Amino acid sequence: MPPASTTIVPVLPDQVAGGDGARQIANPLREGLRLERIPEPCTMVICGATGDLTVRKLGPALYNLMLGGFLPPEFSVVGFARRPISDDEFRELLRQGIDQYSRNRPVKPSVWKSFSRGIEYHAGDFSDPGSYADLVKRLDRIDRDRGTAGNRLIYLAVPPILYPEIVKQLGAAGLAETGEERRDAKRGWVRVIVEKPFGADIGSARKLNREIGEVFSESQIYRIDHYLGKETVQNLAVFRFGNGLFEPIWNRRYIDSVQITVAETVGVEGRGEFYDQTGALRDIVQNHALQLMTMFAMEPPVEFMASDLRDEKLKVLRAVKPMTVADVADNAVRGQYVSGWVEGHKVHAYRDEPEVDPESETETFVALKLGIDSWRWAGVPFYLRTGKAMPTRVTEIAVQFRRAPLALFARAGAPQFDPNILAVRIQPDEGILIRFGAKVPGQGLQIRSVNMDFRYGSSFAVDSPDAYETLLLDAMIGDPSLFTRGDESERAWEILDPVLRAWAEGHGGPLHFYGAGTWGPPAADELLERDQRAWRRL
């Protein structure tokens, strides 16, 4: 029998009568939600502006920021890509993306009219110095005409293989230099946002850090992981360090194990060539899953300053027990989906996807057991799993607590019930669930698990901002707290490098197959069963 569920919602005043009938009193928890954070005037340059990321994420995020009043009137966007289109055609491309993907759709004509005035398009080749020289002239003209003060945010919305060439050309054109470096009062700050995956292994990550670092300083580089922009992830610090109920039990004495799940219902969605060279370990575990683990397991920073927060996250990664190639078979499982059904739709096998090698050994599922060798977490296993073509789209961190002594109830004949669970749901239905035991009403002693469920939507009656909205605004303001530092990225690769080498050399266990619409291969269940544990049912 599934556990009973109780939804926790804020206690709100009842409707009260007004002059023209009943009206709803505003939710008091919404007060103070809109923290005014208006960046300085700036121009955002999007390299790869006609691609899917711009249409689906960046355009809608910028529009929503403008709609919410978070962007200055002088804000401008310059799209930079190879496609020979006009300013108006680029504006229409962005508008179509907003109408289709924005959480505030369709476009409001009055807001769009103001927003679109600052949108321009610059056609050019990423390897042509002349394209960058012309871009400099365009940006200087925008500074004069729109008062953007020489502040520039450059977003590399392109495949990672293009990063070195674009960064080199930006440096040669003087587009990486700040006003302080040039002693030019008309030139402001310059920041660059780099998308994942940041490298393909520890060697390529170090090389990429070195190449970008030759042009931009570390303080200018913003390595983006959109999971860190999600409201629930940011709430982890408040939940842990701001509540006397939870902070004392966040350690090995009370916590038995931690599970981090990043499950997707989709397959490769036409990205077969990219995904077949990447795989689930590089695509999700190296960044999203490990970043969630660091936010969950870090020590409280001295202050909520970017440097302190990132230092604590790095300490978690440094404390992860090193794994040798020989350890991989016992601590990692890789899988690949075959045909099946997901949410009522037939899904073809991964090897039958377009642009995928028919003999591909690329993993679409990973289950991993890690340990953090620190005073707080010694002996607590962290289980990470991610996969494509899963039954449900969900990202969550689930904490299983140690069982309380149950001799009292056992003598009374009550069967053992499930251990207490605390689950932080990152997406969808952002919120926090707590499961505990309660007596079933009636004669006799029967104990059943029940849920207390907090949801952001019902509690605050306001839409959470999209992760890209939060992160773009942070980058404009100059707050790198939710971005990955270079040493942090390299350490994540160091943790996973033995796994990649073991799989490449054939020492890390076989590639297991699982049906689309299932929770991965049986070997993933066996990974936990060896420890007398099981994956949480989602």
pLDDT higher than 70, residue 22: no
pLDDT of residue 181: 55
Start and end residues for every CATH 3.30.360.10 domain found in the chain:
228-461+509-529
Q: Encoding tokens for residue 267?
A: 């397959």
Active-site residue 345, yes or no? no
pLDDT higher than 90, residue 17: no
Nearby residues of 459 by Cβ (< 8 Å), 6 or more positions away: 8, 9, 10, 29, 431
For tokens 């109830």, the residue is 409
- Whether the upstream peptide bond of residue 465 has omega within 30° of 0, thus cis, is no
Nearby residues of 391 by Cβ (< 8 Å), 6 or more positions away: 263, 265, 342, 343, 517, 518, 519
* Amino acid identity for residue 532 in this structure: Q
Rounded-to-integer distance, Cα 104 and Cα 66, Å: 11
CA 289 to each of CA 53, 373, 427: distance values in angstroms, whole numbers, following the listed order:
21, 18, 13
pLDDT of residue 179: 56
Determine which one of 122, 288, 345, 507 is catalytic. 288
Task: Please check whether residue 471 is in contact with residue 191, taking contact to mean a CB–CB distance below 8 angstroms.
Answer: no
> pLDDT tens, 299-313?
998 887 888 999 999
Rounded-to-integer distance, Cα 314 and Cα 137, Å: 40
pLDDT of residue 430: 84
- Please, what is the Cα angle at 496 between 490 and 502, to 5 degrees? 135
Task: Please check whether residue 333 is in contact with residue 527, taking contact to mean a CB–CB distance below 8 angstroms.
Answer: yes
Residue 262 β-bridge partners: 386, 395
Q: Encoding tokens for residue 487?
A: 């040493």
Kindly indicate whether the domain formed by 43-223 is annotated with CATH number 3.40.50.720.
yes
Q: Encoding tokens for residue 523?
A: 């070997």
Rounded-to-integer distance, Cα 9 and Cα 25, Å: 15
* Amino acid identity for residue 17 in this structure: A
Nearby residues of 466 by Cβ (< 8 Å), 6 or more positions away: 57, 60, 61, 64, 103, 229
Nearby residues of 127 by Cβ (< 8 Å), 6 or more positions away: 165, 169
Nearby residues of 398 by Cβ (< 8 Å), 6 or more positions away: 258, 259, 260, 261, 421, 422, 423, 424, 536
Rounded-to-integer distance, Cα 81 and Cα 76, Å: 17
* Amino acid identity for residue 169 in this structure: Q
Higher pLDDT, 46 or 32: 46
Strands 255-263 and 394-401: antiparallel
Rounded-to-integer distance, Cα 32 and Cα 9, Å: 18
Rounded-to-integer distance, Cα 305 and Cα 479, Å: 9
Q: Encoding tokens for residue 56?
A: 């689906």
Domain 228-461+509-529: assigned CATH number:
3.30.360.10
CA 407 to each of CA 412, 486, 502: distance values in angstroms, whole numbers, following the listed order:
9, 51, 45
Rounded-to-integer distance, Cα 140 and Cα 45, Å: 13
Start and end residues for every CATH 3.40.50.720 domain found in the chain:
43-223
Rounded-to-integer distance, Cα 190 and Cα 150, Å: 8
Residue 483: pLDDT band with limits 50, 70, 90: very high
> pLDDT tens, 210-252?
999 999 999 999 999 988 888 778 788 888 888 888 889 999 9
SS3 per-residue string spanning 171-206: HHCCCCCCHHHHCCCCCCCEEEEECCCCCCCHHHHH
pLDDT of residue 33: 41
Most confident region among 231-235, 459-463, 489-493 by mean pLDDT? 489-493
* pTM listed for this prediction: 0.87
For all residues of the chain together, what is the average pLDDT? Answer: 87
> pLDDT tens, 324-361?
999 999 999 999 999 999 999 999 999 999 999 999 99
